[in-house]
Amino acid sequence: MPKLNENYLNLKESYLFAEINHRVKAYSEAHPEKKIIRLGIGDVTLPIGSKMIEQMHEGVDAMASSETFKGYGPEQGYDFLRNAIVDYYARNNVSIEADEVFVSDGAKSDTGNITDLFAQDNVIMIPDPVYPVYVDTNIMNGRNITYIDANAENNFLPMPDHSKHADIIYICSPNNPTGAAYNYEQLKEWVDYALENDAILLYDSAYECFITDESLPRSIFAIEGAKKCAIEFCSLSKTAGFTGTRCGYTIVPKALKFVSSKGIEMSLNAMWNRRQTTKFNGVSYIVQKGAAAAFSVEGMAQCHENIKYYQENAKIIADGLAKKGIRYFGGVNSPYIWFECLNSMDSWDFFDYLLNNAQVVGTPGAGFGKNGQKYFRLTSFGNRENTIEAMHRIDQLF
């Protein structure tokens, strides 16, 4: 009999968004006549911009002729895309090198897979609430997690506690689910803490394109010293509407080196390269063509037209909550609005109440951690009509 990974017994029965789908499906089967508005999972609704689509078409055409046909590509991504990402960072005043960029099918996979590089007995520090992938993937590996509280008192931006040690620290900014975003000084404190502790920051910047406040950093590598202590994950899902086509990237600086228990210097860049070349065969050429277009000046301008639309949705949601006197966070540098459940309800009760009485689906804060127990998240990725309708229904209900 195989011995199974019994760490799976320590996980909640289903992944957060699978549980939401399950409840919504049950409701919709029982009430087929009701129109459900889904503002739960952050899935985009606008089509991909024409610059990206043109390039994807070119990619498809390339597959139709033996002169241009592409089989296996480089596991790390084609040079044209890695270079386009380097240029994009340079335009944001951050310098990285092409062989530090690893193209992948998304930040979800990479933030989960990166755990392969670390031994089991690390101290893992994770903010609560947070994107559940960080927690679940470490539980799958049987690691001990220490949580740091993000709450209304610290504006959902926890800062390092210098009396506590950690080896691996997860940070998501702009944050999923709270929408809070760190400034330069705050991130510098995290970088200093990581350097002081010989620790690594796993920095998820999947929502950097939603930053409207120009004074906020878009990359951890905008902070001095970060190349010695951080890995950055990013995604085209929300930036360019690639939730269905799948493309993201991870930046592993070559300066990121640690000494093994036997005194051998180990490079995280070389290890990730080894891991990816062994377990991953790269993103399709067609998708990478579209992704490279997203990083061009014209392509990014098109991405920002869509982002602007979602930001207007965020404002509609925020204004609707403000009108009812409901305290909310986020929605400005982020596509998510995080607010206190009405009537002090627990978040799953609030989820069921909204689904049953307004047919609006959101995400219960408890799914992101214990500090989300009394909070709820709405996404601005719906279409305009549904967003307005959802806020109207909420307005009528309370």
Parallel, antiparallel or unpaired: strands 248-251 and 101-104? antiparallel
**Facing residues of 233 across strands?**
204, 250
We find the least distance from the C-beta atom of residue 139 to ligand MLT, in angstroms, to be 17
We find the least distance from the C-beta atom of residue 278 to ligand MLT, in angstroms, to be 24
Quick check: helix, strand or coil at residue 210?
helix
Cβ burial, residue 265 (10 Å; 0-12/13-18/19+): exposed
Q: How far apart are the first and last CA of the chain?
A: 55
User: Sign of torsion, CA 296 302 305 311?
Assistant: negative
What are the residues binding ligand MLT (CB under 6 A)?
41-42, 108, 176, 237
The angle at the Cα of 138, spanning 221 to 5, to the nearest 5 degrees, equals: 150
* Residue whose C-alpha is closest to residue 138's, from 160, 163, 113: 113
Closer to ligand MLT by Cβ: residue 211 or 226? 211
Closer to ligand MLT by Cβ: residue 256 or 317? 317
Tokens matching residue 203: 């920095």
Alpha-carbon distance of 118 to 341, in angstroms, equals 38
Alpha-carbon distance of 102 to 96, in angstroms, equals 12
Closer to ligand MLT by Cβ: residue 41 or 62? 41
Alpha-carbon distance of 78 to 92, in angstroms, equals 22
Closer to ligand MLT by Cβ: residue 290 or 362? 362
Alpha-carbon distance of 122 to 145, in angstroms, equals 9
Closer to ligand MLT by Cβ: residue 133 or 231? 133
Closer to ligand MLT by Cβ: residue 74 or 112? 112
We find the least distance from the C-beta atom of residue 107 to ligand MLT, in angstroms, to be 7
We find the least distance from the C-beta atom of residue 243 to ligand MLT, in angstroms, to be 7
Give, as one character, the DSSP assignment of residue 345: -
Closer to ligand MLT by Cβ: residue 41 or 145? 41
We find the least distance from the C-beta atom of residue 182 to ligand MLT, in angstroms, to be 18
We find the least distance from the C-beta atom of residue 332 to ligand MLT, in angstroms, to be 18
Closer to ligand MLT by Cβ: residue 104 or 176? 176
We find the least distance from the C-beta atom of residue 383 to ligand MLT, in angstroms, to be 16
Alpha-carbon distance of 69 to 64, in angstroms, equals 7
We find the least distance from the C-beta atom of residue 89 to ligand MLT, in angstroms, to be 21
**Strand ranges (E), 123-184:** 124-128, 145-149, 168-172
Parallel, antiparallel or unpaired: strands 101-104 and 363-364? unpaired
